[in-house]
Amino acid sequence: LAMYNVKKNGRNNFIEYTSDMKKLITGISITEGIKYKELYMVYQPQINPTNGNIEGMESLVRWKSKLLGFVPPNEFINIAEETGAIHELGEFIIEEVFKQMEIWEKKQFNIPKVSINISPIQLMNKNFCNYVKEMLNKYNISTNKIVFEITENFAIENQKQISDNLNIINKAGIDIYLDDFGKGYSALSYLEKLPIRGVKIDKKFVDYICQNDKIIKMIFTLAQSLNLKVVAEGVENEGQKEIIQQMGECVIQGYLYSKPLSVKELEDKYL
Ligand code: C2E
Ligand code: CA
Ligand code: CA
Ligand code: CA
């Protein structure tokens, strides 16, 4: 580790992650991390801007590695996708969230919809649906509370497998949303071919909405005519919220309302 310039963070004696350490993230270290319970989920509220109600929450994975410190999700998800560890990681994430939802339902919390990010690599696996069904049998939760978020920029190959999987998932009662909407290339054709219930406007468009709101306006018009739900992501200030709110019905996810929260924080503040 010395050669990677590992620094211990004084306060909690926790290693500080540096970009050099990226070389140390491997499929195996991710799998080990799961085994040693270093990975866990946090939840970011999605708020209806007109009444302040929580209408959903996105589950996001975190990895606090003993060896590497806090590893940014974008980085280890990419490596998991490249190495194939995403299958095990993805299954872990689905089970963790279902397990948590069952706990909340048992405590009779009136929880909103919970979204789970699904990697396109998982969707290309023909056993994906079987795993989801197995977990739906194992945990006693309402399927209409589950949303799967998929990104639109997946490879054109294996489209058949992806759409077959999504149709089965959708028939089981799980809603499918397109994540990072507007960023990819063939979003419009996906909307037509796949059972999509909603879109999440990419943070990139929200970032410069005060200078230019044309793209977001277009997304709202499209969503209204196709009867899709809209989530605006990465909303950080009142100005952005006000512009978005005027465009139509939507929910807002962003630091303006809340960062992703631990289960405990979420229960204290929202459930
Ligand atoms: P994403 O799916 O687009 O998730 C939204 C990201 O935006 C999250 O970052 C969230 O913390 C961040 N975010 C939300 N609101 C704001 C805001 O107002 N300002 C700023 N600056 N950021 C905001 P996070 O948790 O670091 O995740 C990054 C990406 O890693 C995710 O992007 C997703 O692609 C991937 N990821 C995270 N968790 C999972 C997971 O459980 N499974 C899979 N397959 N991918 C995941
Ligand atoms: Ca997402
Ligand atoms: Ca997103
Ligand atoms: Ca993303």
Q: Residues near 265 by Cβ (< 8 Å), separated by ≥ 6?
A: none
Phi, psi of 47 (to 5 degrees): -115, 140
Query: Do residues 239 and 27 touch, judged by C-beta distance below 8 A?
Result: no
| Residues near ligand 2 ion, CB 5 Å cutoff | 117, 149, 179
What does the alpha-carbon distance between residue 103 and residue 107 come to, in Å, rounded to a whole number? 6
For residues 2-13, one letter each, b for 16 or more C-beta atoms within 10 angstroms of the residue's C-beta and e for the rest, the string is eeeebeeeeeee
> What is the tens place of the pLDDT at every residue in 11-45?
556 677 777 777 788 889 999 999 999 999 999 99
Ligand 1 contact via 183 beta carbon (within 6 Å): no
| Residue 156, pLDDT score | 54
ipTM above 0.95, yes or no: yes
Q: In whole numbers, what is the pLDDT of the chain averaged over residues?
A: 91
Ligand 1 contact via 236 beta carbon (within 6 Å): yes
Say how many C-beta atoms besides its own lie within 10 A of residue 74's C-beta: 8
**Ligand 2: distance of its center to the CA of 96 in Å?**
16
- Identify the residue whose C-alpha is closest to ligand 1 atom 38: 60
Ligand 1 contact via 120 beta carbon (within 6 Å): no
Query: Do residues 21 and 30 touch, judged by C-beta distance below 8 A?
Result: no
Which token pair is 106?
A: 């048992």
> What is the tens place of the pLDDT at every residue in 205-264?
999 999 999 999 999 999 999 999 999 999 999 999 999 999 999 999 999 999 999 999
As a 3-state breakdown, the chain gives helix, strand, coil percent values, each rounded to 5, of: 45, 25, 30
**Ligand 1: distance of its center to the CA of 60 in Å?**
6
Ligand 1 contact via 115 beta carbon (within 6 Å): no
Q: What is the position in ligand 1's atom list of the atom closest to the CA of 260?
A: 11
Ligand 1 contact via 86 beta carbon (within 6 Å): no
The full length of the chain comes to 271
Phi/psi region, residue 250 (left: phi>0; alpha: psi -120 to 50; beta: rest), is: beta
Counting ligand 1 atoms within 8 A of each CB, the residue from 117, 124, 255 with the most, and so the one to mutate, is 117
> What is the tens place of the pLDDT at every residue in 166-200?
999 999 999 999 999 888 766 677 888 889 999 99
What does the alpha-carbon distance between residue 198 and residue 176 come to, in Å, rounded to a whole number? 7
| pTM, entire model | 0.94
Ligand 1 contact via 73 beta carbon (within 6 Å): yes
